[in-house]
Structure 1
């Protein structure tokens, strides 16, 4: 079964967490083409019309990522929010990327798409 954004968004974060190998990273990235690996983290920036829209997005994703218990680094400015996921507990505590990062990224994308279609 191929990995898609919709299958990732419908998934839940799992335990135990294992780091993705290079082949798995490539297939997961293909499912979420707007996301990039930057500094070992799965990263994307989202643009908004104003601060209110930016904060509404941050609040919406906060609820979802809290439910998944997998929290990203967020950068919030007037009309932009950057989201950066990684999994601190993989690779013997050195960090890396896991399926959980991609599950949450897909959920963040779905929230952004829903906002754009409203």
Structure 2
């Protein structure tokens, strides 16, 4: 996978509400009603990440989930990150 330019990243981010670019990764966070809902979404994302063979850097405190995506082999953000970000958005939207 080839690393995207900053311009390409910012252009693609226009389609992903709530995602930001910083430190060679794209980042977002979500808040849920409670820990169970956050963990349920994390589990669904984990299965999707396995299917994509691409795994997020993430953290969870109670009802908040923070996610960062970067393709380490490429040294930055690639199309692979945006594919997983879009899948994550679909999972979160389905939960809501």
Calculate the TM-score normalised by the size of structure 1.
Answer: 0.78
Gaps of 5+ in 1: 1-16
Q: Which has the higher strand share?
A: 2
Aligned residue pair count: 96
Distance 1:39 1:25 in 2: 12
Change (3 A) 1:110 1:80: same
Matches within 5 A, 1:21-100: 21-90=5-74, 95-100=75-80
Gaps of 5+ in 2: none
Distance 1:74 1:24 in 2: 24
Distance 1:105 1:56 in 2: 17
Rg comparison, structure with higher value: 1
> CA-atom RMSD, angstroms?
0.9
